[in-house]
Amino acid sequence: MSENKEIELKDIFSTINELKIELQSHFFKIFLFVTSITILSLVFSLSQDSRYKAELSFVVEDTQKSTPLSSMSGLASQFGFDMFSSSNSTFSQANIMDLLKSRGVISKTLLQKSNYTDKSEFFIDSYLKMNSIDADWNELPDLKDLNFNDKLTITHDSIITLVWQKIIEEDISVEIKNDETDIIYLSFRCRDEKFAKFFSQSLISEMSRMYVSYQTKQSTNTISFLQNRADSVFVELEKAEQEFARVKDINQRIIKASGRLKELQLMRNVEVLNTMYLELVKNIEVSKLTLLNQTPIIQVIDKPILPLEDTKMSALLVLLIAIFISTTCSVIYFILRKLVNDSLA
């Protein structure tokens, strides 16, 4: 039994020795292969442009909590408005993350002007130049004099869609790093670190405007309706007061109640309109306080600060990875070739 183990160990050591001799015999080929792969990797790495990462974190608070204002809800309910009823948010946390990558938010941000350079220009113009997308447009009649200051056409929409697709596929990422928290992280990468910083901040601002506008749209419409109604009642009240004063002046010398009937009717009309106007004003104030309570808060925690992180892999790291991978591949190749040849022999 021990003799068999000794024979097996001898075979293993013999095989290892043969593989060592095989590798030594091909040392020049391995060295040439590793050197070639390393040089190609370095050339490729040096030819790549830097990509700066702007990371921004924020939280969204949109829970509609009950407040002491709920005791005043009866004022609004008189006009058929349920101002304090609880409702679930249409935008969940996942939807907010998708909203940041939506075409509507990104396109509106691209069409904003920024002063991060010496001259004010649209973000989309800067992005097109930075990525050399418009390099050969002068040779195309339809794109030669394209200007985003003009009225948007199908051509403009096509270019905006192209840029949007490139951004969501290559440049932007939205994630939650910790499941125990509600902090959302937005990362944007591009060749210009100033562009990355200002664009990511503008993107958050545009998303906030759209989100807050949607969440408060019902309350805003209610306030607008109540304000228009109050203005109409106020105009009617002024007319009724003027007519009441005119009739009262005429009836100064009339003693009988039958002669003062129109005056009494106008006085009642003024009192009714005045009561309606006061109730409408109260409901407007309640609605404004409700709107303030229901307005979600988007709080930015950390903003990108210059200089930004360069996500381009360092030349030293590329060198080490290239040497490791090429050496491993070449060694495995000659070992497998040796084993296959021995088995066939």
Instruction: Determine whether 60 is exposed, middle or buried from the number of CB atoms within 10 Å of its CB (0-12, 13-18, 19+).
Output: buried
Strand partners, 60: 298
pLDDT in tens, 212-246: 888 788 888 888 999 999 999 999 998 888 888 88
pLDDT in tens, 268-288: 888 999 999 899 999 999 888
Dist. CA 244–CA 265, nearest whole Å: 9
Q: In this prediction, what percent of the chain has a pLDDT beyond 70?
A: 82
pTM of the model: 0.66
The predicted structure's pLDDT at residue 230:
92
Beta-carbon contacts of 49 under 8 Å, excluding residues fewer than 6 positions away, are 191, 312
User: Residue 64 — pLDDT band, cuts 50, 70, 90?
Assistant: low
Angle made by CA atoms 268, 273, 275, in degrees to the nearest 5: 95
User: Residue 203 — pLDDT band, cuts 50, 70, 90?
Assistant: very high
The predicted structure's pLDDT at residue 76:
47
Dist. CA 273–CA 269, nearest whole Å: 6
Phi, psi of 257, rounded to the nearest 5 degrees: -65, -35
- Check if the beta carbon of residue 237 is closer than 8 Å to that of residue 272: no
Angle made by CA atoms 223, 78, 295, in degrees to the nearest 5: 35
User: Quick check: 22 pLDDT over 70?
Assistant: yes
The predicted structure's pLDDT at residue 232:
92
User: Residue 8 — pLDDT band, cuts 50, 70, 90?
Assistant: low
Among 276, 272, 294, smallest CA distance to 222 is for 294
Instruction: Determine whether 105 is exposed, middle or buried from the number of CB atoms within 10 Å of its CB (0-12, 13-18, 19+).
Output: buried
Give, as one character, the DSSP assignment of residue 313.
Answer: P
Among 313, 309, 312, 314, smallest CA distance to 55 is for 309
Q: Is 299 helix (H, G, I), strand (E, B) or coil?
A: strand
Angle made by CA atoms 336, 341, 345, in degrees to the nearest 5: 150
Mean pLDDT in residue range 173-179: 84
